[in-house]
Structure 1
Amino acid sequence: MKTNLPTWDLTHLYSSIKAVELKDDLSTAKELAQNFAKAYQGKLATLDGKGFAASLEAYEQMEDILGRVISYAQLQYSSDNTDAAIGQFYQNMQEEITDLSSLILFYTLEINKLEDEVLEGFFKEEAAAKYRPWVMDVRVHRPYQLSEEMERLLHEKSVSGKRAWNRLFDETMAGLRFPLQGKEVTISDVLDKMSSKEGAERKEAAKSFGGVLGENIRLFSLITNTLAKDKATEDQWRGLERPISSRNLSNLVEDEVVDALIGSVKDSYGDLAHRYYGFKAKWFGVDKLDYWDRNAPLPEDDDRKIEWSEAKDTVLTAYNAFDGEMAQIGQRFFDENWIDVPPRAGKDSGAFAHPVTPSAHPYILLNYHGKVRDVMTLAHELGHGVHQVLAADQGPLMADTPLTLAETASVFGEMLTFRSMLDKESDEKRRRIMLAGKVEDMLNTVVRQVAFCDFERQVHDERKKGELTPDRLGEIWMSVQTESLGPAFRYEDEYKHFWAYIPHFIHSPFYVYAYAFGDCLVNSLYDVFQNGHEGFQGKYRDMLAAGGSKRHKELLAPFGLDASDPDFWKRGLNVVSGFIDDLEDVI
Structure 2
Amino acid sequence: MNQTKYKSVWNLDSIFKGGSGSPDLHDHMIQTEVYIKELDEKLKEWKTPREESDAYQIADILHELREIKLCISQARSFVICLLAQDPKDQVAQSYRGKTTALLSRYESINSRFKKRLAITEKSLWRNLLETKELKEYRFVLTEWKDDADREPSQEMSDLMVDGYHSWGEFYQSFMSSIKVEVKNQELSVGQALNLRSHSDPSVREESHRALVEKWAEHEGMFAQILNHLAGFRLNMYKSVGVEDVISVPLAQNRMKEETLHAMLSVIEKNKEPFADYLNVKAKMNGDSKMKSFHFGSLMNHEQQSIEYSEAAALIEEQFHGFGTEMGQFAEKAFGEGWVEAENRPNKSAVAFCAGFPQIGESRVFLTFNNTFKGILSLVHELGHAFHNHAMKSVDGINKQYPMSLAETASTFAEMIILEAAMEKANSDEEKLFILDEKLKRSVMNFMNLHARFIFEKEFHEERKKGFVSATRLNELMKSAIERGYDGSLDEIPIHSWVWTPHFYKTESPFYSFPYTFGYLLALNFFAKAKETGKEFEQHYLSLLEDSGSMSAEDLVMKHLGEDITEGAFWEKGMRLCIKDSEEFVRLAASLAK
With the length of structure 1 as denominator, give the TM-score of the two structures: 0.93
Offset, 1:286: 3.1
How far has the Cα of 1:99 moved from its partner? 4.3
CA RMSD of aligned residues (A): 2.2
Distance in 2, Cα, partners of 1:123 & 1:487 = 52
Find the aligned partners of 1:181 and 1:410 in 2 and give their Cα distance. Answer: 34
Q: Secondary structure at the match of 1:462?
A: helix
Q: How does 1:136-147 map to 2 (within 5 A)?
A: 136-145=142-151
Task: Show the counterpart of 1:153.
Answer: 155
Tell me the SS of whatever aligns to 1:583.
Answer: helix
Q: What is aligned with 2:112?
A: 106
**Cα offset for 1:462?**
1.1
More displaced 10-residue stretch of structure 1: 515-524 or 47-56 = 47-56
Tell me the residue number matched to 1:34: 37
In 2: Cα distance, 1:154 partner to 1:206 partner: 40
2:228 to 223, 226, 229: 226
In structure 1, list runs of 5 or more residues that go unmatched: none
Are 1:253 and 2:255 matched, yes or no? Answer: yes
Is 1:43 paired with 2:47?
A: yes
Q: Which runs of 5+ in 2 are unaligned?
A: none
How many residue pairs get aligned? The number is: 578
Alignment of 1:410-429 (within 5 A): 410-429=410-429
- How far has the Cα of 1:222 moved from its partner? 0.8
441-450 or 323-332: bigger deviation: 441-450
1:515-571 C-alpha deviation (Å, 9 max, x unpaired): 100111111222233344895332111101224022223322232222112111111
Q: In the alignment, is the contact (CA less than 8 A) between 1:174 and 1:186 conserved in 2?
A: yes
Contact 2:151–2:240 (Cα < 8 Å) also in 1: yes
CA contact (8 A) 1:140 1:249 kept: no
**In structure 1, distance between residues paired with 2:100 and 2:79:** 8
CA contact (8 A) 1:394 1:549 kept: no
Alpha-carbon distance in structure 2 between the residues aligned to 1:104 and 1:18? 30
Q: Counterpart of 1:292? A: 293
Query: What does 1:420-569 correspond to in 2, within 5 Å?
Result: 420-491=420-491, 495-507=493-505, 508-532=508-532, 535-557=535-557, 558-569=559-570
Q: Does the 8 Å contact 1:330/1:385 carry over to 2? A: no
Counterpart secondary structure, 1:127: coil
Q: Go from structure 1 to structure 2 and tell me whether the alpha carbon gap of 1:339 and 1:109 turns closer, same or farther (over 3 Å shift).
A: farther
* Contact 2:73/2:355 (<8 A) preserved: no
Change (3 A) 1:95 1:50: closer
What SS does the corresponding residue of 1:261 show, helix, strand or coil? helix
Partner Cα distance (2:110, 2:479) in 1: 45
Match of 1:338 in 2: 338
Name 2:141's counterpart in structure 1: 135
Relative to structure 1, the CA distance from residue 436 to residue 51 in structure 2 (aligned partners, 3 Å threshold; closer, same or farther) is: same
Mapped contact 2:448–2:484 kept (Cα < 8 A): yes
What is the alpha-carbon distance in structure 1 between the residues aligned to residue 373 and residue 288 of structure 2?
A: 26
Query: Structure 2: how far apart are the matches of 1:438 and 1:411?
Result: 11
Classify the secondary structure of the residue corresponding to 1:25.
helix
Q: Which of 46, 67, 70 matches 2:73?
A: 67
The one-letter code matched in structure 1 to 2:23 is V
How far apart, CA to CA, are the structure 1 residues paired with 2:72 and 2:293? 43
Partner amino acid, structure 2, of 1:9: N
SS at match of 1:362: strand
Give the drift of 1:102.
Answer: 4.3
* Structure 1 residue 35, shift from structure 2 partner: 3.0
Question: Which aligned pairs between 1:346-361 and structure 2 lie closer than 5 A?
Answer: 346-361=346-361
**Matched residues, percent identical?**
20
2:33 partner amino acid: K
Q: CA deviation at 1:488?
A: 4.0
- SS, match of residue 354 in structure 1: strand
Cα contact 2:451–2:485 (8 A) shared by 1: no
Letter in 2 for 1:339: V
Which segment drifts farther, 31-40 or 236-245? 31-40
Q: Does 1:179 align with 2:178?
A: no
- Aligned partner letter, 1:266: E
Distance 2:470 2:509 in 1: 19
Tell me, yes or no, if the aligned pair for 1:29 and 1:100 is still in contact at 8 Å: no
Can you list the C-alpha shifts for 1:46-92, whole angstroms capped at 9, x where unaligned? 46222222222222222222222222222222222222232223223
Provide, for residues 390-428 of structure 1, a one-character-per-residue CA deviation record: whole Å limited to 9, x for no partner: 112112211121111111111011011100111112122
Q: Which deviates more from structure 2 when the two are superposed, residues 512-521 or residues 300-309?
A: 300-309
**Helix, strand or coil: the match of 1:309?**
helix
Note if contact 1:281-1:488 (Cα within 8 Å) is conserved in structure 2: no
Distance 1:553 1:534 in 2: 25
- d(CA) in 2 for partners of 1:501, 1:308: 26
Equivalent-residue separation in structure 1 for 2:57 and 2:161 (angstroms):
33
What amino acid is aligned across from residue 573 of structure 1 in structure 2?
Answer: M
Q: How far apart are 1:351 and its partner, in Å?
A: 1.3
> Residues 203 and 400 of structure 1: is their aligned pair in 2 closer, same or farther, counting only changes over 3 Å?
same
* 1:55 and 2:85 correspond: no
Question: Offset at 1:371?
Answer: 0.8
